Structure 1
Amino acid sequence: MVRDVRVEAACGRLVGQRHDGFVSFLGIPYAEPPVGDRRFARPRAKAPFARPFEAFAYGAAAPQKRAVPAPIARIAGATKEISEDCLSLNVWTPDVKGSRPVLVFIHGGGFIIGAGSQYPGDDLAIRGDVVVVTLNYRLGLIGFNPFAEVFEGDDRFVANAGLLDQRLALTWVRDNIAALGGDPDKVTIAGESAGSVSVAWHLVTKGSQPLYARAIMQSGTLSLFYGLERARAIGDELRAGLSLAAGPEPLFQLSPKQLQEAAEAAVSRHTGVISRPYADEVEIGASLPADLARAAKPVPLLIGTNRDEFSFFSQLPILPMETGKAEMAAMVAEFAGEEASKRIASLYRDDRPGRIAFGTDLIFRMPAIAFADGHAKNDNSVYFYRLDWEAKGLLSKLGATHSVDLPLLFEGFLRPFRSAYLGVLPDPGRHRLAERMRDHWLSFVRDGRPGEGWPAYRPNTRETMIFNVEDRVGADPEAVHRIAWKGIDGFAS
């Protein structure tokens, strides 16, 4: 039977719900609504509640294109409402008494889709005796745009508003989580894909560094940021295409859908997702991603990728991305030159497996290795992994694709459609793999290191935990490609 649980926190009185083995607090607003003139601005902390806030349901997701139709989203338990008033978070705790380690998980989705509600934290909270937090942040062109460069000095615009939303949510955790059974000095920030890119930003930015003690990065690093020059070029196109010569007022009048459609039409010379974070030279400077990694906060880091990340983008039309060998070689040439591009491209066949391997190395694996190397060289504890387990359901042809780690770590991810990843038949080997991965992640959240059998990553030996039905540890398993890619580093083009 569900019972109400009332607590007094810095944000005011909260009312949660006690279930079998955990207490949930859903949809807690951590910021004032970013609407009107605040649409693109720096977020402001939510004023304390004047009356008890009933945290019984997920808050609205940020405006976005739905990955699945609304009726299916409702069946899957995802947030059915979409609104610009979206800055809320969710908490699952074994009990409001005590002081447990905290896992804050930042959702992915290419900075254009996703919501914290897709990652129910009850299973991990119970399994690991930890507090789990998920959150929403502004997405798309509302959360990630170059307008602060276009309209310099206008405080209605700030670079990377969506990342600043996340920082404010982490501040809320610091100030309130003790009232919900958590220890604010033992916070692990984690994320997958765009969430992992976000974690990398928090690692290297001074404003975020006091807010956590450990970090987990799954499939994404700072290499997916734009450089400032690229952001300004997109800003120039947007100003011309959106008819902003007379000022930014039209940006506050268009609906989110109209804004995104107009932006896509305006920006014709840049492919892929245009609403992406960029190095604004305020929060982070112009240094290359690997150099930034060496300046990251010295905390324990768990980091890795899936073996066939790029198949998700080459086979599914969810997130636009260049997938041809020639186009990827051109990306390498932009920040490494033609000679290096030819050398790198020669490692990969121009067929489907070759292109998947090329894209995986370009966007995910080699940047992750470079980040791990930079962090480990400063004598930080680093634990590196590669997930080789292949999807079994509708996505089985994609192998160990991007996001296949999520249903292994989150018992409630995409329910009841987990079969798209896991298949419909019982799979004891996969079940044991999921158990092992969860135990490793939770051990890291509690103690700053995974469980037994996973050695620390060192730049001279590069021990890597390779997860599959049977796990193994490999020493520098990507050595041939890693050596060829060494020194090739840059932001997204």
Structure 2
Amino acid sequence: MRRRPVWIWGISGWSMVSEVRIEAACGPLVGQRHGGVVRFLGIPYGERPVGQRRFARPEAKAAFARPFEAFSYGPAAPQRRTLPLPIARMARVSADFSEDCLSLNVWTPAVSGKRPVLVFIHGGGFIIGAGSQYPGDDLAARGDVVVVTMNYRLGLLGFNPFAEIFPGDERFVANAGLLDQRLALAWVRDNIAAFGGDPDQVTIAGESAGSVSVAWHLVAKASHPFYARAIMQSGTLSLFYGRDRAREIGDELRRSMGLTGGPGRLFELSPKELQSASRAAVRTRTGIVSWPYADEWEFGTAAPAALAKAAKPVPLIIGTTRDEFSLFTDLPLLPLATGKAEMTRVVERLAGRDTAERIARLYPGDRRGRIAFGTDLVFRMPTIAFADNHAKAGNEVFSYRLDWEAKGLFSRLGATHSVDLPLLFKDFMRPFRAVYVGLLPDPRRHMLSERMRDHWLSFVREGRPGGDWPAYVPEERRTMIFGEKDRIVADPEARRRIAWRGIDGFAT
């Protein structure tokens, strides 16, 4: 029996809620209409990856026999809590964690019709985050598109080298979290028409780890059937570990976790114990243990530049913020090397001592110099290289750099990593988005946000952003510089780009 509409109070004020029922390939579902958008939250797309399946290839969820009430977000993958629980719930940050985490969320203006689809993959360094942090109501209504977010396995549950140290054991697969994402994309292809979406017009997008994920789907041929366009925000293939590094980490885990007699203990430890074990394994090195790596099954032996040239031939928006690395130099969020000497050694491992010394001379040793060095090493130069190679292969590429500086508690960080998120997602981190945008109304920031959303939505609908944003070609490298006043600049990092040219490889 259909329930009567009710009024509820949410972060955007009062709204009337009514039920919407659909039949999809996954079975019958019940969503809720909130104002002009219908929400279907917490839909399981994969079977529970628990027990002997906790590190294995994901399996598609069996069809529902009874209507599934998709009224609330599903639990996120186990992870360390970054905010106290009451605040996490208010900010829609991961409030509940469970290994049974393979669910997704859909926002649609209506369940009839055939709209373009935006699938946004959350970031968080492959160790934190959830799809619930990116409410799709505003983008769905503004652009008349269907928006999808997902949860996938994180930490050692989703990213580990166990397939390298226990070869042939089907309980382990490389980059399980990325395979979770692929399974979610397959679910979108098979089901999104029932939500008013067009499975032939899917754009995959992501920020940070989500952007790295999009890069993987671009080069992994088994993901190619599931999307038609791509958006990469702050992250490329260079952030994958190489296979040798993965094996080194695997050997350390084998010793530190007591796995010399076999992998049995991995199925006995709780998620918290797995997190503790991974932290203990890197006391003698910098970096994240649970990180995707360039496995032989999806990547072969190619380096990032060659992979970018062979990526799926689709239109691409790609870019970074100007001061990405300030988030990591000033806030201890991830165990990354932030000293100039450490970063110089990274370049040396990739390109040799002479090149590393030449690169290091480009950057002063003060805080601003370290931020610029880290931004170029980890984000900006790999992004330019990916854009160059994708464009050289004959694809339409649209390059950007975001120069808008945070105005809230993050104001000292400038145009830092993740500052694009509150500009694109109206409800990102509400009611705490003031840490990025400040407490006072800011008409210029509001107009920037409007412009960026319109460009992204135009790309989702038509395969290109607004008419004032030219395509990127390696001969000119025209780049959209987003700020309080946008401008087009040809080759904005020319001097440093030339110095970095040819430096290629995975994280070491």
Equivalent residue number for residue 379 of structure 1: 394
Equivalent residue number for residue 57 of structure 2: 42
**Cα offsets for 1:211-249 (capped at 9, x unmatched):** 000000000000000010110011011101111011101
What one-letter code is carried by the residue in structure 2 that aligns with 1:430?
R
Deviation at 1:306? Answer: 0.1
Equivalent residue number for residue 265 of structure 1: 280
What one-letter code is carried by the residue in structure 2 that aligns with 1:157?
F
- Which of 48, 55, 77 in structure 2 is aligned with 1:62? 77
Equivalent residue number for residue 287 of structure 1: 302
**Cα offsets for 1:333-386 (capped at 9, x unmatched):** 001000000010000000000000000000000000000000000110000000
2:272, 2:346 → 1: CA distance?
A: 30
Equivalent residue number for residue 138 of structure 1: 153
Equivalent residue number for residue 119 of structure 2: 104
What SS class does the counterpart of residue 171 from structure 1 fall into? helix
What SS class does the counterpart of residue 142 from structure 2 fall into? helix
- Which of 335, 341, 347 in structure 2 is aligned with 1:326? 341
Which deviates more, 263-272 or 315-324?
A: 263-272
Equivalent residue number for residue 107 of structure 2: 92
Taking the TM superposition and a 5 Å limit, the aligned residue runs for 1:48-447 are 48-447=63-462
What one-letter code is carried by the residue in structure 1 that aligns with 2:501?
K
Q: Is the 8 A contact 2:203 2:460 kept in 1?
A: yes
Query: TM-score by structure 1 length?
Result: 0.99
Counting matched residue pairs gives 493
What one-letter code is carried by the residue in structure 2 that aligns with 1:230?
R
1:354, 1:263 → 2: CA distance?
A: 31
Deviation at 1:270? Answer: 2.7
Q: Is the 8 A contact 1:97 1:181 kept in 2?
A: yes
What one-letter code is carried by the residue in structure 2 that aligns with 1:436?
R
2:354, 2:486 → 1: CA distance?
A: 38
Output the aligned Cα RMSD.
0.6
1:18, 1:263 → 2: CA distance?
A: 42
2:411, 2:228 → 1: CA distance?
A: 37
Deviation at 1:266? Answer: 2.6
Q: Is the 8 A contact 2:240 2:292 kept in 1?
A: yes
Q: Is the 8 A contact 1:325 1:358 kept in 2?
A: yes
Gaps of 5+ in 1: none
Q: Is the 8 A contact 1:105 1:189 kept in 2?
A: yes
Q: Is the 8 A contact 1:121 1:133 kept in 2?
A: yes
Equivalent residue number for residue 484 of structure 1: 499
Which deviates more, 228-237 or 263-272?
A: 263-272
Q: Is the 8 A contact 1:4 1:15 kept in 2?
A: yes
Gaps of 5+ in 2: 1-15
Deviation at 1:74? Answer: 1.1
What SS class does the counterpart of residue 2 from structure 1 fall into? strand
1:455 to 2:470 alignment: yes
**Cα offsets for 1:390-410 (capped at 9, x unmatched):** 000000000000000000000
What SS class does the counterpart of residue 222 from structure 2 fall into? coil
1:158, 1:395 → 2: CA distance?
A: 38
What SS class does the counterpart of residue 187 from structure 2 fall into? helix
Identity %: 74
What one-letter code is carried by the residue in structure 1 that aligns with 2:332?
P
2:447, 2:86 → 1: CA distance?
A: 33
Equivalent residue number for residue 4 of structure 1: 19
Deviation at 1:29? Answer: 0.2
What one-letter code is carried by the residue in structure 2 that aligns with 1:394?
L
Query: TM-score by structure 2 length?
Result: 0.96
**Cα offsets for 1:430-451 (capped at 9, x unmatched):** 0000000000000000000000
1:19, 1:112 → 2: CA distance?
A: 32
1:386, 1:267 → 2: CA distance?
A: 33
What SS class does the counterpart of residue 23 from structure 1 fall into? strand
1:447, 1:31 → 2: CA distance?
A: 31
What SS class does the counterpart of residue 329 from structure 1 fall into? helix
Q: Is the 8 A contact 1:5 1:18 kept in 2?
A: yes
1:203, 1:426 → 2: CA distance?
A: 39
What one-letter code is carried by the residue in structure 2 that aligns with 1:467?
F
What SS class does the counterpart of residue 283 from structure 1 fall into? coil
Deviation at 1:66? Answer: 1.2
What SS class does the counterpart of residue 277 from structure 1 fall into? coil
2:419, 2:94 → 1: CA distance?
A: 21
Deviation at 1:263? Answer: 2.1
2:277, 2:229 → 1: CA distance?
A: 40
What one-letter code is carried by the residue in structure 1 that aligns with 2:323?
D
What one-letter code is carried by the residue in structure 1 that aligns with 2:468?
G
Structure 1 ranges of 4+ moved more than 6 A: none
Q: Is the 8 A contact 2:409 2:438 kept in 1?
A: yes
Q: Is the 8 A contact 2:278 2:290 kept in 1?
A: no
Q: Is the 8 A contact 1:67 1:318 kept in 2?
A: no
Deviation at 1:169? Answer: 0.1
Deviation at 1:141? Answer: 0.8
Deviation at 1:265? Answer: 1.0
1:262, 1:189 → 2: CA distance?
A: 33
What one-letter code is carried by the residue in structure 2 that aligns with 1:120?
P
